[in-house]
Amino acid sequence: MDIDVVYLLCLGLCLCYGGEEENEELPRPSISAWPSSVVKCKSNVTLRCWTHFQNVTVTLGKLHNSGYQQELRSAGKEAEFHLTNLQPEDAGGYFCAYRTATSHRWSGQSQHLQLVVTDGVGGGGGDPPRPSNSKLIFLATFSCLCISLLFVSIFFIYRRTQQVTLNDHVCKYEHEAGWGE
Ligand SMILES: *[C@@H]1O[C@H](CO)[C@@H](O)[C@H](O)[C@H]1NC(C)=O
Ligand SMILES: *[C@@H]1O[C@H](CO)[C@@H](O)[C@H](O)[C@H]1NC(C)=O
């Protein structure tokens, strides 16, 4: 019972402390990709940022790229950023944040959305691993075959050399026998 109380107290303190540390009046927005976060090269994607308030300024940022920023005003609770003609360098982590007309500070960042740009015509995210998998199987089979072939050839070479030395011996004996008579 005591332990439970201490645990709850601790949890409460931690939560309070965490909240204070962030010092956020605005709840974090959430981000999603439409139609998918895995998109083909040269296609388009829409990143939607859902904010808890209407009439806000929304910014879209990219991880490891502080120079990247898009900003727009949204009348509703949802802001849409249209990314078109996607290139491989557009892949990466995206996040959004917002600011209401009255707040001077930005909200905390949304979770990071990982955008994947595939270069294949097939497109699907599950496609790329499959070829590498079959490649691996092919490589394994090929090496197995090579190793067995090596063993077989070693065996044959060994047998042939044995036969040759045996024949040599026979010849020698015959020779010696011939000389003897
Ligand atoms: C992407 O968007 C551009 C401009 O909005 C449009 O011209 C193009 O057809 C779109 N491409 C695809 C694959 O939807
Ligand atoms: C949005 O903000 C503008 C001023 O920035 C204001 O004129 C307008 O009434 C606001 N709209 C809503 C729905 O709050």
Report residues whose beta carbon is within 6 angstroms of any ligand 2 atom. 54-55, 101
Atom of ligand 2 minimally distant from the CA of 101: 5
For a pocket test of ligand 1, which of 43, 44, 86 has the largest count of ligand atoms closer than 8 A to its C-beta?
44
The CA distance from 47 to 97, in Å, is: 13
Q: Is residue 139 part of a domain?
A: yes
Q: What is the pLDDT of residue 161?
A: 79
Residues 46 and 113 placed together within one structural domain of the fold: yes
Residues 96 and 170 placed together within one structural domain of the fold: no
Is the bond preceding 35 in cis, omega lying within 30 degrees of 0? yes
Is the CB of 84 within 6 Å of ligand 1?
Answer: yes
Q: Which ligand is nearest to the CA of 41?
A: 1
Q: Kindly indicate the confidence band of residue 85, based on its pLDDT and cuts at 50, 70 and 90.
A: very high
Q: Is residue 173 part of a domain?
A: yes
Whether the CB-CB separation of 48 and 80 falls below 8 Å is answered with: yes
Total structural domains in the chain?
A: 2
At a CB cut-off of 8 Å and minimum separation 6, what does 29 contact? 49, 50, 51, 52, 58, 96, 97, 98, 107, 110
Least trusted range by pLDDT, from 37-46, 97-106, 139-148: 139-148
Q: Is residue 17 part of a domain?
A: no
Q: Which of 65, 64, 52 is nearest to 98 (CA)?
A: 52
